[in-house]
Amino acid sequence: MSEVRDNLQEGEAGVRGEQPFPDQVRSTEATRPDLHGLLTTSHSSSADISPSPSAESGGLLSLPWEILIHIVSYLPVHFVVNVLPKVCHALSNVGQDRTAWQLRAQRLVGSRAAFPVGPREDFDWPGACLEMEQLITCWSGEVEHVARQNQEDEERREQAIPQDGEPGVGGQDDGGEGEVKGVGVAVQEVAYGADEAMEVAMEGEEGEMQHVLGGDQVARLREELEDRLEGDAAALMEEEMDHRRVFNVNEGRDALLNHQEDLPDHRNLGNGQHVEARSPSPPPALECITLPSGHIAHVNSVLLLGGEGKVCATASRDWNVKLWDLELGSLLHTMGRQGDFSSHRGWVWCLASQGPLLASGGFDSTVRLWDLQAGGADRALIRTRAAVLCLSCQPDMLLAGTFDKQVSMYDTRAAAPLVKSIRMHSNAVMCLCADDKYIISGSKDCTVAVYDRRAGKGLKRLRLSSYLLSMSYSGCEVWAGDNGGMLHSFTMQAGTFKAVSQFDVGHTALITGIHRSSGSLYTCSSDCTVKVHIPCAPPRTLSTLHYQAGVHGLSVEAGVLAVASGDVRVQIWRPRK
């Protein structure tokens, strides 16, 4: 019996007891938080004022079109999309040239990778290039950042004058061999950062992603790191013990840890003293914060809300759903009806939202609806016939996949919300996604099914060698993660659903969460990792984050990444301001 099935049975057993979760009595508040300002996305746009071309026929306007395209290919995407149309009317046409964007995308993913994985017709090439450049900038800078951080720490140590008679780090009687062994964790840290970015940077010698880091720079940086490690072992051990940085939300300091305390093989110093692994610092373009420990059990799901990554909701096995203000790093509200001790009467397993509506599904066989514009007030309670394992909110419909093998459709505006229940699987429905035409669901029976909403019938059913636990549907592509750590890609075009390929991206256990957009791919797993990829074939992994416990879910919005791990923590990665 798999881990997921064990969790389902354990959760439903807890529901039958109908006892409030311990230490979970919540004080009622006189007023609910005002979420309207946080959840309203501003869509301000400036007018596109393109100056007329000069009457003079010389200069840039006289260059052949091929040369113009070649020049523009070296400019940042945001400059091409936002600045050039206002500077030169002639160059504004470059932003509409599909061939130029396709060539640029190929440079970003590399000559040996296919992009996009799905159909190329109507693909958003500028948007994909913009996302990929931002992803590379944010997530492939570990090498430079670690080297710079080590240099700064070395300079600080040189300025510090040790006291006479003060024993050295790790003891003076252990000998050089013991001191070198004691820096094993520091070596792992630098090697981790180098491996993650050098995989991308080294390929620059073959014409791929040259802007990240040149081959000569990589070799020079590697030599500097090795010399620094060999020549200053004792100082690195001192850094290991004394220079851990902890983010303090209330004081507003930048987070420098990504909670990778589970780096393998914690090392011991020569005198037997235990040294804990220090998490690698986040890339310089990102900051990381850890939300205060608001839950007392594992967080099963996290969801960013509002379109700007300023608010997030968390769902936990402590039976509660909580709202968080990410600008302040503080708890906004714990959901619940008047008189209830918790948001649900069992584990809360999944979240979904559409506009001001937030839906949570739990092992108490209910879907609860919360009004975000009313400060998270209770809006409705929908009773299902089994534990709710996945949700999808559409503008006109709420979809729920349940343990009793069904996908149910609800109209949240109606007094009797159930519209229809469909059964296309022979086991629990583990994940689903949808749009206005199709519902795609994955089940523990190792099948993927497609339901045509307009025709009101099943369209296709594919059998796999494993079962899917997470799914992301964007454009014409569907990406999913299975119970063995493999990624699967499918296409959905003109009523035809096809399996494209499957990829091994390094996960060794259940892929519990996935987010795919035109230029980014994020995955998380119960193997205690989160990976950031470019969504090409095969996916190019830019970074891997390590955690102490299995990661249960992730959410991505406006460049912000929220991660829910099994150690009751929720971590937020976002671009530095």
Domain-located, residue 168: no
Q: 323 falls in which pLDDT band (50, 70, 90)?
A: very high
Angle between helices 98-109 and 125-139 (to 10 degrees): 30
Exposure string of 30-61, with b = 16+ CB inside 10 Å and e = fewer, is: eeebebeebbeeeeeeeeeeeeeeeeeeeeee
In this structure, the strands spanning 457-463 and 447-452 are: antiparallel
- Whether 124 and 518 have beta carbons less than 8 Å apart is answered as yes
For the ranges 155-164, 313-322, 325-334, 513-522, the lowest mean pLDDT is seen at: 155-164
Domain-located, residue 13: no
Domain-located, residue 314: yes
Is 60 exceeded by the pLDDT of residue 472?
Answer: yes
* pLDDT number for residue 77: 83
Domain-located, residue 255: no
Give me the half-sphere count of Cα atoms (radius 13 Å) on the Cβ side of residue 211.
Answer: 14
Q: How far are the Cα atoms of 368, 467, 527 from residue 362, in angstroms, in the given order? A: 9, 21, 24
Residue 558 CA from chain centroid, whole number? 11
- Whether 461 and 450 have beta carbons less than 8 Å apart is answered as yes
Is 70 exceeded by the pLDDT of residue 271?
Answer: no
Domain-located, residue 373: yes
- Using one digit for the tens of pLDDT, what is the confidence trace for 412-462? 888 899 999 999 999 999 999 999 999 999 999 999 999 999 999 999 999
For the ranges 232-241, 505-514, 535-544, the lowest mean pLDDT is seen at: 232-241
The set of residues, in sequence order, having a beta carbon less than 8 Å from that of 263 and lying 6+ positions away, is: 185, 188, 189, 192, 277, 279, 546
Our CA dihedral for 241, 283, 481, 565, rounded to 10 degrees, sits at: 40
Q: How far are the Cα atoms of 40, 94, 283 from residue 308, in angstroms, in the given order? A: 9, 29, 21
Structure tokens at 278: 């220090």
CATH number at residue 539: 2.130.10.10
- Using one digit for the tens of pLDDT, what is the confidence trace for 165-194? 444 433 334 433 333 333 333 333 333 333
- Whether 468 and 428 have beta carbons less than 8 Å apart is answered as no
* pLDDT number for residue 404: 94
Is 60 exceeded by the pLDDT of residue 355?
Answer: yes
Q: 402 falls in which pLDDT band (50, 70, 90)?
A: very high
Q: 80 falls in which pLDDT band (50, 70, 90)?
A: confident
The set of residues, in sequence order, having a beta carbon less than 8 Å from that of 443 and lying 6+ positions away, is: 405, 425, 426, 427, 428, 429, 430, 449, 467, 468
Domain-located, residue 27: no
- Using one digit for the tens of pLDDT, what is the confidence trace for 333-344? 999 887 788 999
Domain-located, residue 1: no
Rounded Cα gap, residues 237 and 15, in angstroms: 49
For the chain, what is the domain count? 1
Domain containing residue 443: 286-575
Domain-located, residue 341: yes
Q: 145 falls in which pLDDT band (50, 70, 90)?
A: low
